[in-house]
Amino acid sequence: MALISLVNTTSGSVPEDGDMLLRYELGSALTRQFCCSGKQIVRTLASIELRDRDTLIVWGGDGTVAAALNLVRGTGAMVLPLPGGTMNLLHRRIHGQVADWKMTLTRALCSRQPKALTYATANGLPFYVALMIGKLTQLVEAREALREGHPLEAARQAASADVLDMDSIITTRIGTEELRATAAAAFLPEALEGDCLEIGAIAPESLIDLASVGLSSLISDWREAEGVTFRQTEEAWFHEEVDPGKNALLDGEPAEFEDPIKVELRRGDVFVHAMDGGP
């Protein structure tokens, strides 16, 4: 049972000497360590050989952790993520609100038993936090600028994004029900082993309402905004009438899909080390 680490040296909140800190903390228990920049993540992961019951410690942001989860899927190996990004949504889903990397590492390694992580696929592509569809996804650059402390750049990006379009319609089909909305999303449950997806559809009555949702997506989470209808299901279909499949975010990263987009809940072949007392 090897203990392997991957450190994304360019991730938002990983210390410059993160690789040395991790080696010092783990000592002789660490079997191998890999360090790379964000652009090298896919190639570096492809070079890592994992066996059943191996643990891959991943220090990086949500994109790095998601790529590692894709690697271990179906292998019997486990991922232990450490918070190294800006949002750390996957870290929070797996470990809860604890943000200290040392505490996360110690408590997760002491948890002993791996936990299955429920995830979903969008036309076969796995995701672990959310799929978002619609022109509001074009606010992602403004959101990142705001998080990095550049409010003027965020305002410029938001103003240049063509997001306030009431005529942009997405049809969401859940069983026999159809919801027509300006933007839609599929969220994974907060619980690691949750049994349903949460489907959200934004159908604002005015441009003011749509702008309010857009603002919520910049400063918090549009799940908390007014005018959002939610359903719970294991499967849903999305069809965007204008530029189908072109306006999408998969775990916060831009993605394109063939239309329609089929979303399905998955479980049982992705495992993580989560902290005792976590979700």
Q: Which of 120, 266, 244 is nearest to 171 (CA)?
A: 244
Tokens for 22? 């991790």
pLDDT above 70 for 3: yes
Mean pLDDT of 60-78: 92
pLDDT 10s digits, 163-173 = 545 456 889 99
Cβ burial of 160 (10 Å; 0-12, 13-18, 19+) is: exposed
Least confident of 18-22, 44-48, 253-257, 262-266: 253-257
Tokens for 116? 């299955």
Output the pLDDT for position 224: 59
pTM of the model: 0.81
Mean pLDDT of 115-137: 89
pLDDT above 60 for 43: yes
Whether the CB-CB separation of 5 and 59 falls below 8 Å is answered with yes
Output the pLDDT for position 203: 65
pLDDT 10s digits, 103-116 = 999 999 887 678 99
Output the pLDDT for position 81: 94
Mean pLDDT of 139-147: 52
E strands in the chain: 3-8, 32-36, 55-60, 78-83, 115-116, 119-122, 125-127, 130-133, 170-174, 177-181, 183-187, 197-202, 228-233, 235-240, 248-250, 253-255, 261-266, 271-272
Tokens for 110? 């002491």
Output the pLDDT for position 91: 87
Do β-strands 197-202 and 248-250 pair in parallel, antiparallel, or remain unpaired? unpaired
List of domains in the chain = 3-110 (3.40.50.10330), 125-266 (2.60.200.40)
